[in-house]
Amino acid sequence: MLPLRLTKMPFRVKDIMRLLCIIAKEKNMMAAVKYSGLGALFTGTVTFVGGLVGGPPGLAVGGLVGSLLSAWMIRGHLKPVHQIIMELPSDKKQKLYNEASSILNHLDWMETVQLTTLVMGSEDLKQKLLVMLEKFLTHR
């Protein structure tokens, strides 16, 4: 009798989205959904002006003031990352799926629970997925 060979299951978009949501919830990730780009622009502008006006000390003061004002601007505009993931349009979910799949493609699994267990048991995989997710959300 031939030994039973398990066939690698293909990833499904919804499985990967659920997995990323679990990881984001575990880390209690939050992201600015509005004004984040404006905040960075504002910080850079205030820092630049501070440098022009006050030289090196002006850069430091401008950076501090710009950062504080940016933080004040985005206050109250944070959303849980797991919620952001679930609300992504299908083309963005597909892009996120492609990026996550490239990290997970070496895993052999038969069901979603097994995939989740494999990933949640590996700090290395979780960290790689978190870094990927952070980059994805920063550049979306």
Q: Do the Cβ atoms of 104 and 125 come closer than 8 Å?
A: yes
- Backbone φ and ψ for 10, nearest 5 degrees, come out as -75, 150
45 token code pair: 């502008």
Cα(75)–Cα(36) distance, integer angstroms: 10
- What confidence tens digit (pLDDT) does each residue in 87-117 have? 999 999 999 999 999 999 888 877 888 888 9
Q: What is the mean pLDDT of the chain?
A: 78
- Report residue 122's pLDDT band, with 50, 70 and 90 as the boundaries: very high
Cα(23)–Cα(84) distance, integer angstroms: 13
Cα(45)–Cα(60) distance, integer angstroms: 13
